[in-house]
Amino acid sequence: MKATGVVVEYNPFHYGHAYHVRQAKIHTSSDVAIAVMSGSFLQRGEPAIVSKWARTKMALQNGVDIVCELPYIYAVQKAETFANGAVAILDALKCHSLFFGSEDGDIKAFERTAHAWHEKKEEIDLFTKEKVKKGLSYPTAAAAAFQEVIDPKHLLDLSLPNNILGFHYVKAIMERSPHMQPFTSQRISSGYHDEELPENQKIASATSIRKALKDHGTFETVAPYLPEATLKQLHDYHSSYGLLHTQEAYFSFLKHVFHTMDMAELEGIYEIEEGIEHRMQKAITHASSYEEYLSLVKTKRYTWTRLQRMNTHLLMRVKKSAMHELLKEKKAPYIRLLGMSKKGQQYLSRVKKDLDVPLVSKLSAFSHPALDLDIRASRVFSLPVSEPVQTNLTEAEFKTSPIRYDEETGLFQS
C-alpha cells in the first residue's frame, strides 16, 4: 500500500479540503492519505474552532485514512519549523510522497527555489538579518533577500502563504527525507486569506467560513460551503460545549498572564524578544478586546501572526529554554494517532513493525516533554468552556482512544 501525506488544520474541513484529499491520492497514485493535523492551537497562533477530535471525525468522513497530531512544538511556529515537524512525522510513517496546494502549482518551481536557497543559504541569511534589523518582518525580509541574491525569474513568489509553506516542505524533504517525493497542485477558487464567502461556488476559504460564523452566529450561512459531516460536527460541538472557539474568548486569560508575571518571567517566554513585552504589557492595560490589543502592539516588524503566536506561548507559559531543548531533536519524538479508517488501520498494521518512532494511541502508555505541552495545550484550549462540560473536554485528551471509522458503512466504531 502506498501512502501520501498532507499537512492540515481543517479549521473547519470544507469542500476545498475534500478536493485536496482526492487530488492527493490521484496525483500520487496512493491508496492511503495520511493527514498530519495541528491540535488545539494552529500555525498562526489561533485556537482551533473545535477540538482535534471533532476535526478528526470531519477528516475521516471525507476521505482521509489516518489523522495524526502535529505536536505543539511544531504546530505554533514559523513556516520552517512547522514544515520540518510535519515532514519528520510523515517520514516516520513511511509516506512515499507529500502533496500540498499552492498558489504557483508547479513543483519544478519549488524544487528550483529550494536548490537555489541551499546553494546561496549563507548569503540569503545575511541579507535577511540586515533587513530584519531595518524593521522588516522576517517573512518579508526573507522574501526580499531571495529577490536580491537570486534571479527572480527562477523563483517562486514567496510573499504568498501557501507558496511559503510549500517551499519549506520541499526544502525539508530535500534536507531530511530525499526518498519522499513532493507534489503540488494550484489552489482553486478562494485564496487563503479571503474573508468573504464567494457566490455561485462551493469552495470557500476557512477564513471566510470562520468569519461568517462569527458575524452571523448561524450554521445556515456557511452550510453551502461545508460537507454534511462538518456541519454535524460543528453543530454537535456547539451544542455540547456552548461555543466555537475564537481568539477573543482567551483575552481575559491572557490579561491574567500579564497581571501575574513579572518582566523577567515575560522575557523568558518563547518568541518574546527585543523588549516587545513592554509594548504588550502597556497595550493590554488599555485594550478592551483582543483585536484592539493586537492592533496596539502590531508594527511592521511584528506582524499580527507573529504576535498571535507569542500570545499563545504566553497563555501556555512556554519557556524559551524548554522549547529550544525540544527542537534540538531532528527526528519526530512520537506519532500521536487521532483516528483511522479501515484502510488506514490496514496500512498501520503493515508498517507498524518498521516504525522507528513511538506510535502513541494511549497517553498512559507514553511520556515525553513535548507530549506534556500537547496536554497543556488541550487544557488551555478548554478554558473558555463553562463547567462542568469543561471537565469533559479536558478529560477527552486522556479518555479518547484513536477514532475508528468504517468508510464502507459510514459509521464510527466504538
**Does residue 392 sit in helix, strand or coil?**
helix
pLDDT of residue 160: 85
Does residue 340 lie in a domain region?
no
DSSP string over 266-300: HHTBTT--TTHHHHHHHHHHH-SSHHHHHHHH--S
pLDDT of residue 262: 92
Q: 311 pLDDT exceeds 90?
A: yes
Pairwise CA distance, residues 219 & 362, whole Å: 34
Q: 193 pLDDT exceeds 70?
A: no
Cis peptide before 12 (omega within 30 of 0): yes
**Does residue 214 sit in helix, strand or coil?**
helix
Enter the C-alpha cell of residue 316.
501556555
pLDDT of residue 236: 96
Does residue 287 lie in a domain region?
yes
Pairwise CA distance, residues 300 & 304, whole Å: 9
- Sorted by sequence, the CB contacts under 8 Å of residue 349 that are 6+ apart come out as none
Q: Which of 5-19, 204-218, 303-317 has the lowest mean pLDDT?
A: 204-218
Other C-beta atoms lying within 10 Å of the C-beta of residue 136: 18
Q: How do residues 362-414 score in pLDDT, each as one tens digit?
A: 998 899 999 999 999 999 999 999 989 998 898 989 889 999 999 999 999 87
- Sorted by sequence, the CB contacts under 8 Å of residue 263 that are 6+ apart come out as 277, 278, 281
> Known binding site: residues?
7-20, 101, 162, 187-188
Residue with cell 522576517: 138
pLDDT of residue 154: 64
Pairwise CA distance, residues 286 & 288, whole Å: 7
Does residue 320 lie in a domain region?
yes
Instruction: Please state the rounded mean pLDDT for residues 242-265.
Output: 95
Cis peptide before 388 (omega within 30 of 0): yes
Pairwise CA distance, residues 335 & 351, whole Å: 13
Residue with cell 492592533: 295
- Sorted by sequence, the CB contacts under 8 Å of residue 198 that are 6+ apart come out as 189, 190, 204, 208
Enter the C-alpha cell of residue 285.
492595560
pLDDT of residue 150: 76
Q: How do residues 320-375 score in pLDDT, each as one tens digit?
A: 999 999 999 889 999 999 999 999 999 999 999 999 999 999 998 899 999 999 99
Q: How do residues 72-129 score in pLDDT, each as one tens digit?
A: 999 999 999 999 999 999 999 999 999 999 998 999 999 988 888 888 778 888 878 8
Q: Which of 5-9, 49-53, 214-218 has the lowest mean pLDDT?
A: 214-218
Burial class of residue 194 in the structure, from the number of CB atoms within 10 Å of its CB (0-12 exposed, 13-18 middle, 19+ buried): middle
**Strand partners for 412:** 405
Domains: count for the chain = 1
pLDDT of residue 192: 52
Does residue 272 lie in a domain region?
yes
Pairwise CA distance, residues 193 & 184, whole Å: 19
The band of 231, judged by pLDDT with boundaries at 50, 70 and 90, is very high
Q: Helices 138-149 and 121-133, interaxial angle, to 10°?
A: 130
The band of 189, judged by pLDDT with boundaries at 50, 70 and 90, is low
Q: Which of 34-48, 145-159, 173-187, 212-226 has the lowest mean pLDDT?
A: 145-159
The range of the structural domain enclosing residue 317 comes to 247-326
Which among 187, 123, 128, 176 is positioned nearest to 149, based on CA atoms? 123
DSSP string over 96-161: SEEEEEESS--HHHHHHHHHHHHHTHHHHHHHHHHHHHTT--HHHHHHHHHHHHS-GGGS--TTSH
pLDDT of residue 152: 66
Pairwise CA distance, residues 168 & 172, whole Å: 6
pLDDT of residue 161: 86
Q: Which amino acid is at 412?
A: F
pLDDT of residue 124: 80
Does residue 260 lie in a domain region?
yes
In 3-state terms the chain splits into helix, strand, coil percentages (rounded to 5) of: 55, 10, 35
> Known binding site for ATP: residues?
7-20, 101, 162, 187-188
Give the CB-side neighbour count of residue 39, counting CA atoms within 13 A. Answer: 28
Does residue 296 lie in a domain region?
yes
**Pairing label, strands 403-406, 359-360:** unpaired
Does residue 304 lie in a domain region?
yes
Instruction: Please state the rounded mean pLDDT for residues 181-190.
Output: 83
Does residue 302 lie in a domain region?
yes
Other C-beta atoms lying within 10 Å of the C-beta of residue 237: 22
Q: Helices 290-297 and 251-260, interaxial angle, to 10°?
A: 60
Other C-beta atoms lying within 10 Å of the C-beta of residue 263: 11
Which among 243, 336, 251, 233 is positioned nearest to 287, based on CA atoms? 251
Instruction: Please state the rounded mean pLDDT for residues 162-186.
Output: 94
